[in-house]
Amino acid sequence: MSVVIRLARAGTKKRPVYHVVVADSRFPRDGRFIERLGYFNPLLPKDNETRLKLDMDKVKSWLAKGAQPSDRVSRFLDAAGVKKREARNNPQKAVPRKERKAQAEAAAKA
């Protein structure tokens, strides 16, 4: 059984609130979960302390048991200093589209 720490969407239409939950990876995003660890409200300003609330003791215990955080949750844990997030390598990110690349080459030749 693969256990993940991820976000489950709650709230109403166009007003999302997310619960940080521990769930089996086979369960649906908003479906069954094992334990709720906190919440995340993206509509609040970034400097508001109630934007994200996590029970760090529970998070640390689940990480010790082998639970894998999702990308967004790993960002939260990195900001809190609990778990270091490894840098991702995306070499295609800086490559421009073909048209812009051709224009840049034409401008360089002229």
Domain ranges of the chain: 3-80
Which pTM value belongs to this model? Answer: 0.78
pLDDT digit of tens for each residue in the chain (110 aa)? Answer: 699 999 999 999 999 999 999 999 999 999 999 999 999 999 999 999 999 999 999 999 999 999 999 999 999 999 999 988 888 777 666 666 777 778 788 888 87
Q: What is the pLDDT of residue 103?
A: 79
19 within 8 A of 7, measured Cβ to Cβ: yes
CA angle 67, 70, 74 (to 5 degrees): 90
Which CATH code of 3.30.1320.10, 3.30.2130.10, 3.90.1150.10, 3.40.50.720 fits the domain covering 3-80? Answer: 3.30.1320.10
DSSP conformational letter for 67: P
Phi then psi for residue 103, to 5 deg, are -65, -40
Which SS3 state, helix, strand or coil, does residue 97 take?
coil
